[in-house]
Structure 1
Amino acid sequence: MKVLVVGPSWVGDMVMAQALFIRLQQEHPGATIDVLAPGWSLPIIQRMPQVRRGIAAPWGHGKLNPRAQWQLARELAREGYDKAIILPRSFKSALIPFLARIPERVGFSGEGRSLLLTDARKRRPTRDGNQITDKTVWRYLGLGVSRADYRRYQFEVPFPALDTDQANIASVMAKLALPTDKPAVALCPGAEYGPSKQWPLANHRALAGALAERGYQVWVMGGPKDVEAGDTIAQGQDGVYNLCGKTRLEDTVDLFAHCQSVVSHDSGLMHVAAASGAKVVAIYGSTSPDFTPPLTDKAIILRHPIECSPCFERTCRFGHYRCLTEITVQQVLEALA
């Protein structure tokens, strides 16, 4: 069996998609799985042993790029794929498998693309008691099963597990002048979604200082957009290192694997940390672990339930952010302990 999976566009979603790749290999031993996805995600895909290769998608955000799509579709047509599984719901994500004439094309209906699919499915939120849930990872796993099995819409989830590179860990730590004789805890203050996911920077700074006093080195981790936040947390604190914007995505996987624990919001880095094997303390504000939980048995989830949470909004409509501000530094320290 030869499968082309069109992958999602977010870091955390790409990590969760590994659960589908694991299940496909379990049900079809020896299957070949290729993943068509944004170019930034290829280093993560390379750490997934179930995937033969990652293929950079020829489109950008909001852009179809039809000429490049047609050229890639012609190349993929020669691969002889048996099946395509399209995880995103956009029109452009279904176009290449259609143009490549892959005989079975499974995905969710939407954006007028059902004609591009041979098996267009409706999303099926499920009820757990009084709570309606629609776990992202269930949606991915659901597209990998038959229509009959899809109707159940409850799946056992294999945990993602990214390969790590011990030699790269040593190399990156040496390059960044990080101590090798102290246990490390990583803090991830960023969240691309917006401030309604982000624990206050003052709390991160206080947590970092408390951990440094206890003998840990603290790594503040994130992308270039998080550099200023990292400076706020690390500045003037011995043993606290701002690594935001200084590491590649694959370096982050390896550094997380070296950490004793990782503290993160509900973000892409939370899912990377979980798949690296680290213990994760996950802080949830406007979102819910009922939908995007860290896929690991080594996670502790912290929430402050109030009547308006989860609201799934990018900013707090009331301006108080109590779902986040009332999670204390002491609570996080206790979770880490």
Structure 2
Amino acid sequence: MINILVIGPSWIGDMMMSHSLYRTIKSQYPEAVIDVMAPDWCRSLLLRMPEVNKGLLLPFKHGELALKKRFYLGKFLQKNGLYDRAYILPNSFKSALVPFFAKIKRRIGWRGEMRYGLLNDIRVLDKSKFPLMVERYIALAYDQPVHSSNLLPKPLLWPRLKVEENEKRLLMQQFILPNDKLIIGFCPGAEFGPAKCWPYYYYALLAEQLIYEGYQVILLGAKKERKIGQAIIQTLSNTTHSHCSNLIGHTKLEEAVILISLCTAIVSNDSGLMHIAAALNCPIVALYGPSSPNFTPPLSNKTRIIHLSSHYDNIRTGNTKDGYHQSMINILPKLVYQELNTLLYSIK
């Protein structure tokens, strides 16, 4: 048996992609016991990854050094002698401290932020050889360094979350969703801010069309994105309000996962919820603007990606009065509707 500690990422999308590492480790070492240390708000995702034994609390604020706390946490792990090896996925100096203080025998990660000494199995990343973030995670699973994504065994093991049927039934009742309609989910927010968001008025136009065709639309997102949902609802005509459920800010993350699993398809910005939808194998129309699908695409074969390259691509912040990025404004609802229909037809 190999006992493994993973220092996990802090963002939803990165956490989802890290599941490929856990799956790859288990494919090589079926007896491995994998515990993942992560922020409290995303530990619920780990419970849906069969390869993960425990989701441990990473008790530090984002960006906090907390050297003394990390030292005592490491010494606690050392005293209990729980782990044979550690994988450190963030590239920061501080993320490697706990496994170092715990004196875990083998500490694996990319070189990152001056981590010589903290890591004793240090890999040097040539970004051009690993264009996808998920490939960089997977490459760490192998005992011998892999120097190119072309050398990774295929097929890659993409993230896959589990949701039980009884969970779906309970949430259908809890959020009063109709049993007689197919559900299309919209994820109109993004952690990065409005620059990565498709305009709310475009989402409203698309919702009107889908509701007219008999779909139920649900809006999903975090509390800080509530204004987006409200703006979409306010833009809808009175006759369509009842067929669009604004659940933004009204669900826990684990509930959002189950609700996405209920959807016939998802329309989403480049966001954590998009990566969750991919891990649930839910059909996705993914909308990209200033970020690149060549680095963090949704890892699913049921995907249509819209990314209109333009001279605005090198601008990372919104350049309109609403904070939207021009490349997102250029994606018209008619195109998204066409791609959604093509996607749904292709999976029938």
- TM-score normalised by length of structure 1: 0.92
Alpha-carbon contact 1:76-1:100 (below 8 Å) kept? yes
Moved more, 2-11 or 189-198: 189-198
Matched residue type, 2:196: K
Displacement of 1:316 in angstroms is 3.8
- After superposition, where does 1:92-107 map in structure 2 within 5 Å? 92-107=94-109
Distance 1:274 1:101 in 2: 37
Displacement of 1:147 in angstroms is 4.0
Match of 1:302 among 302, 306, 325: 306
- TM-score normalised by length of structure 2: 0.90
Displacement of 1:312 in angstroms is 6.6
Alpha-carbon contact 2:230-2:246 (below 8 Å) kept? yes
Displacement of 1:79 in angstroms is 4.0
Q: Where does residue 20 of structure 1 map in the other structure?
A: 21
Distance 1:25 1:49 in 2: 10
Q: Where does residue 241 of structure 1 map in the other structure?
A: 245
Displacement of 1:182 in angstroms is 0.9
Alpha-carbon contact 1:188-1:220 (below 8 Å) kept? yes
1:214 aligned onto 2:216: no
1:314 aligned onto 2:317: yes
- After superposition, where does 1:106-145 map in structure 2 within 5 Å? 106-126=108-128, 134-145=131-142
Displacement of 1:287 in angstroms is 1.1
Alpha-carbon contact 1:287-1:312 (below 8 Å) kept? no
Matched residue type, 2:293: P
Displacement of 1:206 in angstroms is 0.5
Q: CA-to-partner distance for each residue in 1:236-272, whole Å, 9 max, x for gaps?
A: 4230110001111111111111100000011101001
Match of 2:327 among 323, 326, 329: 323
Q: CA-to-partner distance for each residue in 1:26-84, whole Å, 9 max, x for gaps?
A: 11112111101111111000100000001010211221233432332233222432211
Distance 1:277 1:152 in 2: 27
Displacement of 1:317 in angstroms is 9.1
Q: CA-to-partner distance for each residue in 1:127-175, whole Å, 9 max, x for gaps?
A: 6xxxxx6311111112222344x21233342111101032222222222
**What's the RMSD between the two structures over aligned residues?**
1.9
Q: Where does residue 60 of structure 2 map in the other structure?
A: 59
Moved more, 97-106 or 191-200: 191-200
Identity %: 38
Partner SS, residue 104 of structure 2? coil
Distance 2:44 2:324 in 1: 38
Partner SS, residue 34 of structure 1? strand
Matched residue type, 1:138: E
Displacement of 1:178 in angstroms is 1.7
Alignment coverage as a number of residue pairs: 330
Distance 1:22 1:180 in 2: 34
Distance 1:317 1:25 in 2: 47
Q: Where does residue 86 of structure 2 map in the other structure?
A: 84
Partner SS, residue 260 of structure 2? helix
Q: CA-to-partner distance for each residue in 1:77-133, whole Å, 9 max, x for gaps?
A: 224322111000112210110111111101122333222110222221126xxxxx6
1:180/1:320 CA distance change after superposition, 3 Å? closer
Moved more, 315-324 or 172-181: 315-324
Alpha-carbon contact 2:317-2:325 (below 8 Å) kept? no
Alpha-carbon contact 1:89-1:108 (below 8 Å) kept? yes
Q: Where does residue 229 of structure 1 map in the other structure?
A: 228
Q: CA-to-partner distance for each residue in 1:177-227, whole Å, 9 max, x for gaps?
A: 221221100001101112221111110010111111110100010010111
Moved more, 104-113 or 13-22: 104-113
Distance 1:184 1:142 in 2: 37
Q: Where does residue 282 of structure 2 map in the other structure?
A: 278
1:153 aligned onto 2:149: yes
Displacement of 1:321 in angstroms is 3.2
Moved more, 91-100 or 229-238: 229-238
Matched residue type, 1:118: N
Q: Where does residue 130 of structure 1 map in the other structure?
A: none
Q: Where does residue 74 of structure 1 map in the other structure?
A: 75
Distance 1:110 1:159 in 2: 24
Alpha-carbon contact 2:168-2:262 (below 8 Å) kept? yes
- After superposition, where does 1:162-173 map in structure 2 within 5 Å? 162-173=161-172
Distance 1:38 1:314 in 2: 27
Matched residue type, 1:57: L
Alpha-carbon contact 1:126-1:153 (below 8 Å) kept? no
Alpha-carbon contact 1:6-1:84 (below 8 Å) kept? yes
Alpha-carbon contact 2:99-2:107 (below 8 Å) kept? yes
Distance 2:312 2:63 in 1: 32
Distance 2:29 2:44 in 1: 25
Partner SS, residue 114 of structure 1? coil
